[in-house]
Structure 1
């Protein structure tokens, strides 16, 4: 793997995936306060 390719890869030690009907915008804001380096996913929206 070249150094240029390696620098483009995401190197995150912590990833946060909120759970539907359990987390809200305040919780996601708190997760972002923990570290700006955290990979923060969004909720998956399902269609009924």
Structure 2
């Protein structure tokens, strides 16, 4: 079993999801994390990641 974490580039999200990924790895799950900097709150041409 495995998991891909796609995390927005906010400090608290990176911290919390990073801790969750480490805990899952400790429990023998395969975990990969991708940090994205896209933000729908910014004016165009930015958009929603994914």
Common fold: TM-score over 0.5: no
The structure with the largest strand share of the pair is 2
Q: TM-score, normalised by structure 1?
A: 0.39
Q: TM-score, normalised by structure 2?
A: 0.38
Larger Rg: 1
